[in-house]
Structure 1
Amino acid sequence: MRNKSIKKLNNKMNSKKVIVTFLILVCTIFNIGAQNITPDSKVLYKKVNGDSLYLHLFKPEISKKPTAAIVFFFGGGWVGGNPKQFYQQSKYFASRGILAISAEYRVKNTHGTSPFECVEDGKSAIRWVRENAKELNIDPNKIVASGGSAGGHVALTTALIKGLENVDENLSVSSVPNAVVAYNPVSDTTLKGYGSKKVVGRETEISPTDQVKKDMPPMLIFHGTKDKTVPFENAERFTRLMKEAGNDCELVAVDNMGHGFFNGDFFRKGTGNKYFNLTAYKTDVFLEKLCYLKEKPTLAENIKQVSCIGDSNTEATYPKFLQEKLGENYQVKNFGKGGATLIEGTNHPYFKKKEYKNSLKFTPDIVLIMFGTNDANVKWCLDKTRKTKFIGTPQEEFKSQYIKLINTYKRKNENAEIYVLTPLPIYEHAKSRDPEIKKRIKHLYDWVIPIIREIAEEQNVKLIDVNKLMKKAYKYTVDGIHLNQKGYKILAKKIAKEIK
């Protein structure tokens, strides 16, 4: 199939691409994942019943020799979904020197189809890539099928299922991939697994566990041990059956994770890249063993997610500088909120802010909590008309709310390292906007800092005495409370030293 789209594709692939430096590659694209990722091009691979299906291509740097190719299929229960789900993975593997593709295929909500058409389209995509290997500059014997959930099922079935081929295609070209990588795939479509109601009367026809045979391509399977959508037992059983048939099949069990854990920050905003990195790294190693990739992965396998929690001194730039200091093995996110307090009845009680909710969604491994500057403000702590459900003194409320905050992160991740930070020093300053700054300073040292020290000891969490570490910060303050950029850089450096 050598149409106009292939000629355009060939011309584009002969143009020189800009080489991104290793540091930016790791720290910006894959550790942060915040930028807008788009494919280099889209190419039509199939027309069926009036529908046009495209492959979203992510091209490697120009190579004289043909490269391997990996084709991703998105998840969505064969009902919905979007190729963008695998843009972050595609971007990474293209950077590693192979052609990466995120494929469209028909789904029920858009095309009124069943899982059987999904399988047919997956086979069509693999066949098209192999048939056009020369134009794509790939090795037709190094094609990987990959995907997540229902898309993982599509990837598995391209290797396992005979039939369901589109008769209008060149069937002399194989639709079977040379390797498979599947992320929490549907591997059993009977009552023991997922999707039996969508394949009534044909439950075993496209059920991977029921179609295992010898001489299958090597496979790598990722599955969360607490997956409530596709039972982890299905992945264990599929892997066992594959090995019993003499096939190479590896299962990576990801402890305590549910369905869809492999998605990164690009597709699942705010979740972080911890498990994106883990799965991409292990996929990279798997492909390197097959000689589809060269050299070591260019991203960290295990990263720690760091949540910076606090008020305007957190919302400022110290988290950005902290990321620079900690490096690629950490992903730092800023969940600070200007004016935030732990006591209720203020303009910005932290528990009611989106920053708090987003910090929990991130599921941090390290939590840095710095509150008290605004809680010490006379405007709030001495306001007898302040609306709060807490019965007791402002000091008791501050301590109670602080402990409550700590416990929410402990429940989210029982292994999280939690640090409580004493607030930055407060100074009398010509640009201060607080007419009661002297009282605020007094409150800070009379009860805020002592309470934080008590909490650290009582709750068995770590203390970072920022107030002491930054005791000479006056020359960096801009208004007696906040620092300039140099000051926040120094703060980040000191915090990094404490937690690294």
Structure 2
Amino acid sequence: MAESVLSQTFYPSPGGQELPLRLFSTAGAPRGAVLLFHGGGWLAGGPAMFDAHGRMLADRGLLVASAGYRLLGQGAASLADCVDDAVAAAGFFTALAAGYGLGPERIGLGGGSAGGQLALAAVLSRGVGAGALALFNPALDLRAPLPALTGSDQPLYTVLGLDAAAAGALSPMAMVGPGAPPCLIQHGTADRVVPIGQARRFQQAMVAAGNRCRLVEYDGADHGFFNPGAANADGVDNADGVDWCAATADVAAGFLLEHLKTARGAG
């Protein structure tokens, strides 16, 4: 199989900026597509954070994009601005993927941590069409206490400058309902930022609403375990020798290709 090629373009943000979108493709016709949003607590990070996954997913037959978005304090006045950018990026990528013969039902959305929240908000709250969701330790409940980030039992939304009502409107846990696309969550059991309990509750809520939601747990893995070179929760290298970056890319590729190929119009 041909190696993936990285290119970069820009999409128009509702805030007036041109924001980066990194694209991974191969010479062959893609079997599906996925748009990813990076993590960093809505305060930091950039689309290059998904370069490793972008290459591996593209090598497995997907057209892959990783989008930047306005960060809080750096163009985004609120978390809603970040969601607006995610929706705009999805629209831009949908048009781009159409040039490869891929309709919206052949496109998945995903992201890590804060980026997972953006992907979920775009699909579950803002009506962005997607054939599947692929998430890596996503932030699922902005109303839950997160001592690792707040230093107390304060919920995450207090750090983000939100009130309880706004946090509820932006929390994926509050968005669960019937009709969601198939969803994959990969999460570490030792995550100290977004505890595994959040992922388990979200998965249960999705299934109870009649949706397909698969949760894959990685024993001993901390937050961000899917990034290249990530360590265990105790700060040492992954003791079992598994390359979590490659493993999570394999699982995500299999899930996406399974569900996107069965979408309407798939070849």
Q: Compute the TM-score of the two structures, normalised by the length of structure 2.
A: 0.83
Aligned residue number for residue 184 of structure 2: 220
Identify the match of residue 254 of structure 1 among 218, 231, 250.
Answer: 218
Identify the match of residue 142 of structure 2 among 183, 186, 189.
Answer: 189
Contact 2:72-2:78 within 8 A present in 1 as well: yes
Q: How many residues align?
A: 243
SS at match of 2:9: strand
1:428-485 per-residue CA deviation (whole Å, 9 max, x = no partner) reads xxxxxxxxxxxxxxxxxxxxxxxxxxxxxxxxxxxxxxxxxxxxxxxxxxxxxxxxxx
Aligned residue number for residue 305 of structure 1: none
Contact 1:73-1:151 within 8 A present in 2 as well: yes
1:191-216 per-residue CA deviation (whole Å, 9 max, x = no partner) reads 34562112224121011111100010
Aligned residue number for residue 152 of structure 1: 116
Which 4+ runs in 1 deviate beyond 4 A? 270-273
AA at the equivalent of 2:172: P
1:290-330 per-residue CA deviation (whole Å, 9 max, x = no partner) reads 2549xxxxxxxxxxxxxxxxxxxxxxxxxxxxxxxxxxxxx
Identify the match of residue 49 of structure 1 among 15, 40, 51.
Answer: 15
Contact 2:20-2:47 within 8 A present in 1 as well: no
Counterpart check, 1:19 vs 2:2: yes
1:123-178 per-residue CA deviation (whole Å, 9 max, x = no partner) reads 1111222234332443321111111110111111122113xxxxxxxxxxx62322
SS at match of 2:103: strand
Identity %: 33
AA at the equivalent of 2:105: N
**In structure 1, what is the Cα distance between the partners aligned to 2:178 and 2:15?**
35
Counterpart check, 1:74 vs 2:38: yes
Q: Which segments of 5 or more consecutive residues in structure 1 lack a partner in the other structure?
A: 1-17, 21-37, 163-173, 294-500
Contact 1:150-1:185 within 8 A present in 2 as well: yes
RMSD: 2.4
Contact 2:57-2:64 within 8 A present in 1 as well: yes
AA at the equivalent of 2:228: G
Contact 2:24-2:63 within 8 A present in 1 as well: yes
**In structure 1, what is the Cα distance between the partners aligned to 2:19 and 2:52?**
21
Larger radius of gyration: 1
Identify the match of residue 127 of structure 1 among 79, 91, 102.
Answer: 91
**In structure 1, what is the Cα distance between the partners aligned to 2:257 and 2:36?**
18
Shift of 1:54: 2.2
SS at match of 1:209: helix
Q: Greater relative contact order (Cα 8 A, min sep 6): structure 1 or 2? A: 2
Q: Which segments of 5 or more consecutive residues in structure 2 lack a partner in the other structure?
A: 147-154, 231-235, 263-267
Kindly tell me: are residues 285 and 210 of structure 1, through their superposed partners in 2, closer, same or farther at Cα, counting changes over 3 Å?
same
TM alignment of 1:273-288, pairs within 5 A: 274-288=243-257
**In structure 1, what is the Cα distance between the partners aligned to 2:16 and 2:123?**
27
Contact 1:80-1:109 within 8 A present in 2 as well: no
**In structure 2, what is the Cα distance between the partners aligned to 1:49 and 1:277?**
35
Contact 2:105-2:260 within 8 A present in 1 as well: no
1:1-58 per-residue CA deviation (whole Å, 9 max, x = no partner) reads xxxxxxxxxxxxxxxxx935xxxxxxxxxxxxxxxxx962222221443421121111
SS at match of 2:105: strand
SS at match of 1:40: strand
